[in-house]
Structure formats: structure tokens, C-alpha cells
Amino acid sequence: FVIAFALSLLVLGVLVTFGFTAFIRTIIDHQVALRVGGQSFGWWSRPPVEPIIRIFVYNVTNADEFLNNGTKPILDELGPYVYVQTWEKVNIKENPNGTISYNQKRVYIFNEDLSGGLEDDVVIVPNIPMLSATSQSKHAARFLRLAMASIMDILKIKPFVEVSVGQLLWGYEDPLLKLAKDVVPKEQKLPYEEFGLMYGKNSTSKDTVTVWTGVDDITQYGIIDKYNGRSHQTHWLSEQCNRLNGTDGSIFPPRITKNSTLHVYEKDLCRLLPLSFEKEVTVRGGVKGYRFTPSPDVFASVEKNPNNMCYCPAGPPCAPHGLFNVSLCQYDSPILLSFPHFYMADQTLRTAVEGISPPEKDKHQLFIDVQPDMGTALRARARIQINLAVSQVVDIKQVANFPDIVFPILWFEEGIDSLPDEILDLMKIATNIPPRAKFILTIALFGLGGFLFVVAVICLVRKSHRQSTLHLEGSNYLATASVDQAKKKAKMDNGMSSKSN
């Protein structure tokens, strides 16, 4: 019985050695998957964090000199203007194919204490609606350009506008947009009546996102299945570049390795952003994670990264090195995105203006720190700069002296510093306890099983030896007894012989 028990312990030790990790992963996968009513579903639908967005605006301090004398634009970086956010997924609907659909609700609240200025601060920035219109008319018929110049003259529209930071972000009435509302055919009208770089974002998004829950296949956890009913974009030149199957950046499929490539989809970027492993990190509470960042060639020029040719449907020429042209999904506005201060971009873009300091990796790099076993974002910084590509149009006198230039408008960083202690503590338990438990169980099972097995074998050997000894002693006793009996018999025989004599 003892040997059987010892062998059972040894077999359990083997099972723990080779199957414990898989067993724990199954439990984690079950807990992580988005099940309505589950804990992870609650955190996903209403994240227990308050993301912060910091916005830095480039104020043009010499607009008149730039227009009249052709001098370099001088920019003064103002901010940060800080908004605390709350995120919530609403209109959640379970689908029979293992997906969930929802709309994203975001609320932005200005935080004066954390900000370096007020929403009422007045700034001078390029007139984006006007410069977008003039750039689009560059290849139109000459009489149309002249007509546009006349309209702008009548409406007193200038290449630069003086607005408050709040208006620049959340919207102000623009005369061109107001005119377009009245004269542009309904099917060609813009979906907004005011202009603001974040216009319409402080509300529930009209975009319906459908993601995989991971219940049936954990490798699909959090990945977008459809965006407004579409599984692919339509802007780019290849199926690969039109794919939408990334995540929103808050969750990723579990069991991430250093060789993994994470994909994040952001509507304003109009594409998937691939992220590669950079280094190991430790966040508050001692939770370890992997840092993922964009590769240096993600916004590279076609010459440096030919794979980016699919993002240049109207080219060549394509976007300069370090810039990404999003005009096709921004109503043909010549918007170019980059990393702040033209980080990882051609530095001639920065030196074309004055007032922008050289980029610094710690301040301007985009990154996401991820807990690899669970696929949860621990800390993140989404850092993007919005630029306007301005073209000179000789027939429109308002921009006749405007050189071809990439004009920085603002940059922002959005993200979280840490997750709540409750979630971090659970992560520590889920990631730190199982390896220790496996080690202790393995040592205990092999140690106890081996000890009992050895003891049992020793006992068997001793028992066998004792039985052999007793057998030998018994044999010797019988032999001695036979000899004694023979001697007695011989004596008796001798005695009888003597009496007869």
C-alpha cells in the first residue's frame, strides 16, 4: 500500500511538472474572457481608471511676418491643457458568433489644477478649414480658384485664426463650413457644422465596434471583428493595410511573448498601428510587464520602407519620412500625423519652423506596458502630433505667399499611469503565486513520494531478510534436534546391548 501511495505521489509530481502551467492558463483564460456579469467584463465595460489627456498647442507668434515677408514661422508651445476622462462602453449587445458590439462613450473634464493654462487662452493657429479648401483646389480649374479667392475676400477669411484653446479643441463656427452647409449637395456635406480638432468626441461615439470575447477562442480576445459593420478599411491599396483586426489598446490576447507584435486600431489614425517589444518594465506594486512601442519605420517614407507604399494611394509623391497622411479618412483635409516634435521623423520638418525643441524619447515616444500572461495594459502613453500640409496656390491671393510647409498644430499624450490596486493585486496573485505553488508542490510531491518509496523498499528488504534468517534458524533447530534424537537412540541401543550380555 505504501509503495502504491508513493508511486501515486511521484506520478502527481510529474503531472504538476508538465501540466500545472497549462491548468493555470486555462483558469486565467476563463477569467479573462468577456463573459457578461463577469469581473473582467465589468472592468472592460466601465474601466476603473481615469485616463488623462494632455494637450500642447503651437501658438504662432509671427503670423503677419510669415505671410508678408516669408520668414520662418515662430511657434510657442503652450500647455499642457489637461482633461480627465471617464470611459464607458454603452449599447452593449451580445452576438451569437462569440462577439460583442458596443459604442464608446467618453467624457472630458478640464482640470485647471493640472493644466499650464486655461481653456480661454487665446492662440493664433493656421485656419485649417480654409487651408484645407485651398489645398484641395490646387488642381482645380483656374476660375474655381479665383472664385474661391473672391468668396474668401468677401467673408474676410484669413490663413490664420485667433481662437481660444477651448474653441480650437471643441469647436467654433467657421464661415466656410457655414457656407458649405447651404451650398454643398447633401451627399457631400461634412458631418459637422463647426470646426474643432476634438469636435464631437466629448460624447457617445456613433461608431459601432464589434470585438471577439475570447470565450470560444482566447487568441481572439479583444480583437476587432467589425467596425461599423466592416471588417476592412477601404482607403488603402492592399488587404493587409486595410485590416482592422487589432484591439483598442487596453486589452490584448493573453500569453504575449517578446516576439509578439501587438496591433492597435484607432479611428483617427485610419490604420492598425503595429507595436514591437522594447524592454521589460515593472509598474507600481511590483507587477512586471513588457513595453511595446512602434518600430522606427512605422511612418517611414516609401524609400526607407517600401511596405508603406500601400498607404500612399494618391502618390507618389508620398508623405515625407516620419509623417502619415490621413487625408483620405479626414474628409480630404491635408492632415499629416507624426509623433510629437517630429520624433523619428526627418528633422528638416522641425527646423522648418522655430520654437520646437529636439524630440526626446522619454517625452515623445508612444508606448504601452502590457502584462504578458493576461494581456492587460498596465500603463500607456499614446502620443501623436497633428500637422497641416499647406500648399501654395498662386491664384488664391490669401495664400499666394504661403510656402509648401508642414505646419504643426498641436500634440497630445493620452493614457494611464497605473491600474487600481485591486486589479494589480489580483494580477500579482495570478502571475506570482502559480509558479511558486508549482515549485512547492513539485518538491513536496517528489520529496514525499521518493521518501515513502525508499522507506517502503527498505522495509521490504528488511522483512525479506528477517524471514530468511528465521527460516535458517528453523532449519538449524530441526537439524540439531535430529542429531540429539539420534544420540539418544544410540544410547538406548547401547544400554540394551549391555543388559543382554
User: Among 74, 41, 35, which Cα is nearest to 58's?
Assistant: 74
Pairwise CA distance, residues 452 & 450, whole Å:
6
Three-class SS of residue 262? strand
Q: Is residue 496 part of a domain?
A: no
Q: Is residue 499 part of a domain?
A: no
pLDDT at position 278: 97
Q: Contact at 8 Å (CB) between 103 and 143?
A: no
**In the chain, % of residues over pLDDT 90:** 55
Pairwise CA distance, residues 189 & 271, whole Å:
24
Q: Is residue 488 part of a domain?
A: no
Helix (H) or strand (E) holding 147: helix 142-154
454 and 383, same domain (yes or no): no
Q: By residue range, what is the domain housing residue 12?
A: 1-37+431-477
Pairwise CA distance, residues 315 & 237, whole Å:
11
Q: How many residues belong to the chain?
A: 501
319 and 178, same domain (yes or no): yes
User: Among 306, 304, 301, 238, which Cα is nearest to 272's?
Assistant: 238
Task: Please give the tally of structural domains in the chain.
Answer: 2
Q: Is residue 425 part of a domain?
A: no
Three-class SS of residue 478? helix
User: Among 231, 191, 207, which Cα is nearest to 331's?
Assistant: 191
Place of cell 480576445: 221
| CB half-sphere exposure, 158, CA atoms < 13 A | 10
334-359 residue pLDDT tens: 999 999 999 999 999 999 999 999 99
- For the cut 50, the answer to whether the pLDDT of residue 488 exceeds it is yes
328 and 449, same domain (yes or no): no
Angle at 364 between CA 209 and CA 103, to 5 degrees: 10
What is the average pLDDT across 292-318?
92
Q: Contact at 8 Å (CB) between 314 and 329?
A: no
211 and 146, same domain (yes or no): yes
| CB half-sphere exposure, 186, CA atoms < 13 A | 0
Does residue 412 or residue 5 have the better pLDDT?
Answer: 412
Phi, psi at 301, each rounded to 5°: -65, 160
Q: Is residue 412 part of a domain?
A: yes
Final residue belonging to a domain, choices 392, 419, 446:
419
Q: Is residue 483 part of a domain?
A: no
8-37 residue pLDDT tens: 666 666 666 666 666 667 777 888 899 988
Indicate the average pLDDT of the chain: 85
331 and 360, same domain (yes or no): yes
**In the chain, % of residues over pLDDT 70:** 81
User: Among 61, 39, 109, 42, which Cα is nearest to 81's?
Assistant: 109
462 and 378, same domain (yes or no): no
pTM of the model: 0.84
Pairwise CA distance, residues 475 & 467, whole Å:
12
Phi, psi at 411, each rounded to 5°: -140, 155
292 and 403, same domain (yes or no): yes
Q: Is residue 497 part of a domain?
A: no
| CB half-sphere exposure, 360, CA atoms < 13 A | 4
315 and 389, same domain (yes or no): yes
242-259 residue pLDDT tens: 999 999 999 999 999 999
404 and 452, same domain (yes or no): no
- For the cut 70, the answer to whether the pLDDT of residue 323 exceeds it is yes
* Alpha-carbon dihedral angle through residues 32, 258, 379, 271, given to the nearest 10 degrees: -90
Angle at 85 between CA 249 and CA 227, to 5 degrees: 40
Pairwise CA distance, residues 119 & 131, whole Å:
24
Q: Is residue 146 part of a domain?
A: yes
442 and 401, same domain (yes or no): no
Q: For the ranges 68-72, 181-185, 268-272, which has the lowest average pLDDT? A: 181-185
Confidence of residue 184 (pLDDT cuts 50, 70, 90): low
164 and 272, same domain (yes or no): yes
380-394 residue pLDDT tens: 999 999 999 988 887
pLDDT at position 168: 97
87 and 207, same domain (yes or no): yes
35-41, long-range: CB < 8 A, 24+ apart: 35/213, 35/215, 36/92, 36/94
- Residue by residue, what is the 3-state secondary structure of 387-447? EEEECCCCCCHHHCCCCCEEEEEEEEEEEECCCCHHHHHHHHHHHHHHHHHHHHHHHHHHH
Helices (H) and strands (E) in the chain, counts: 11, 17
